[in-house]
Amino acid sequence: MSAPNKSYDPVEVEALKPEEIERMRDEALAAFAAAGDLDALQEAKVAHTGGTSPLALANREIGALPPHAKADAGKRVGQARGAVNKALAARQTELEAERDARVLVEEAVDVTLPYDRVPAGARHPLTTMMERVSDVFVSMGYEIAEGPEVEAEWFNFDALNFTPDHPARQMQDTFFVQGAKGADSDGESGVVLRTHTSPVQARALLDREPPVYVVCPGRVYRTDELDATHTPVFHQIELLAVDEGLTMADLKGTLDHMVQSLFGADMKTRLRPNYFPFTEPSAEMDMLCYVCKGESVGNPDRSCRTCSSEGWIELGGCGMVNPRVLIACGVDPEKYSGFAFGFGIERMLMFRHNVEDMRDMVEGDVRFTRPFGMEI
Amino acid sequence: MRVPLSWLREYVDLPATETGRDVQAKLISAGLEVETVEQLGADLKGPLVVGKVLTIEELEGFKKPIRFCTVDVGQANGTGEPQEIVCGARNFVVGDKVVVVLPGAVLPGNFAIAARKTYGKTSHGMICSGGELGMGDDGSGGIIVLPPEHEVGTDAIELLELVDEVLDIAVTPDRGYALSMRGVAREAAIAYGLPLRDPALLDVPGPNAFGYPVQVSDPRGCDRFTARTVTGLSPEAHSPIWLQRRLQKAGMRPISLAVDITNYVMLELGQPLHAYDRSRVQGTIGVRRAEPGEKLTTLDGVVRTLDAEDLLITDDRGPIGLAGVMGGANTEIDDTEGTTTEVVIEAAHFDPISIARTARRHKLASEASKRFERGVDPEAASAAAQRTVDLLVLLAGGSADAGVTEVIAPSAPRTITIPANHPDKVAGVDYGRETVVRRLQQVGCDVYGQDELIVTVPSWRPDLTDPNDLAEEVIRLEGYENLPSTLPKPPAGLGLTDRQRLHRRVGRALAGAGYVEALNYPFIGTEVLDQFGLEADDPRRTTVKLVNPLSDEEPAMRTTLLPGLLGALRRNDGRGSHDLALFETGLVFRPTGEEHTAERLPVDRRPTDEEIAGINAALPRQPRRAAVVLAGAREQAGWWGKGRPADWADAVEAARTVAREAGVELTVRSDQHAPWHPGRCAALYVTVHGEETLVGHAGELHPRVIKALHLPERSCAMEVELDLLEQAGTGALQAPRISAFPVATQDVALVVSRDVPATDVEAALREGAGKLLESIRLFDVYESEQLGEGMKSLAYALRFRADDRTLTVDQASRARDAAVALAGERTGAVLRG
- Tens digits of residue pLDDT in A174-213: 899 988 766 555 557 889 999 999 999 999 999 999 999 9
Q: Of the candidates B488, B634, B636, which has its C-beta nearest A243's C-beta?
A: B488
How far is it, in rounded angstroms, from Cα B544 to Cα B592?
10
> What's the pLDDT tens digit per position in B427-478?
999 999 999 999 999 999 999 999 999 999 999 999 999 999 999 999 999 9
Query: Residue B227 pLDDT > 80, yes or no?
Result: yes
**Count of beta carbons in the 10 Å neighbourhood of residue A338:** 29
Q: Any idea what the Cα angle at residue B787 is, between residues B781 and B791, rounded to 5°?
A: 65
Query: Residue B191 pLDDT > 90, yes or no?
Result: yes
A131–B504: do the CB atoms touch at under 8 Å? Answer: yes
Residue numbers in A near B546 (CB within 8 A): 175-178, 193
* Cβ–Cβ < 8 Å for B469, B423: no
CA nearest A177 in B: which residue? B546
* B726 at A interface, C-beta within 8 A: no
For residue A283, give how far its alpha carbon lies from the nearest alpha carbon of chain B (Å). 8
User: Which of B149-163, B209-223, B510-524 comes out lowest in average pLDDT?
Assistant: B149-163
Query: Residue B139 pLDDT > 70, yes or no?
Result: no
* A281 at B interface, C-beta within 8 A: yes
Kindly give, in sequence order, each residue whose CB lies less than 8 Å from that of residue B732, ignoring residues fewer than 6 positions away: none
For residue B565, give how far its alpha carbon lies from the nearest alpha carbon of chain A (Å). 9
Beta bridge partners of B645: B633
Q: Of the candidates B466, B519, B618, which has its C-beta nearest A280's C-beta?
A: B466
How far is it, in rounded angstroms, from Cα A25 to Cα A54?
9
* Cβ–Cβ < 8 Å for B759, B781: no
Beta bridge partners of A182: A179
Question: Taking a contact as any Cβ pair under 8 Å apart, which residues of chain B between 31 and 50 contact chain A?
Answer: 31, 33
φ/ψ (deg, to 5) at B573: -60, -45
Average pLDDT value for chain B: 92
* Cβ–Cβ < 8 Å for A336, A264: no
Virtual torsion, Cα B495, B500, B503, B505, nearest 10 deg: 20
pLDDT at res. B800: 95
pLDDT at res. A1: 47
Residue numbers in B near A373 (CB within 8 A): 511
Kindly give the residue spans of alpha helices, DSSP state H, lying in B36-180. Answer: 156-159
Average pLDDT value for chain A: 89
Question: Taking a contact as any Cβ pair under 8 Å apart, which residues of chain B between 485 and 524 contact chain A?
Answer: 485-497, 500, 504, 507-508, 510-522
Residue numbers in A near B504 (CB within 8 A): 131
How far is it, in rounded angstroms, from Cα B160 to Cα A297?
33
In this prediction, residue B793 has a pLDDT band, given cuts at 50, 70 and 90, of very high
**SS3 state at B223:** strand
What topology does CATH give the domain A125-372? BirA Bifunctional Protein; domain 2 (3.30.930)
Query: Residue A63 pLDDT > 90, yes or no?
Result: no
Kindly give, in sequence order, each residue whose CB lies less than 8 Å from that of residue B301, ignoring residues fewer than 6 positions away: B329
User: Which of A171-180, B299-308, B317-326, B593-602 comes out lowest in average pLDDT?
Assistant: A171-180
Q: Can you tell me the mean pLDDT for B609-638?
A: 95
CA nearest B511 in A: which residue? A121
> What's the pLDDT tens digit per position in A131-165?
999 999 999 999 999 999 999 999 999 999 988 87
* B535 at A interface, C-beta within 8 A: no
In this prediction, residue A283 has a pLDDT band, given cuts at 50, 70 and 90, of very high
Residue numbers in A near B500 (CB within 8 A): 144, 146
pTM: 0.85
* Cβ–Cβ < 8 Å for B305, B375: no
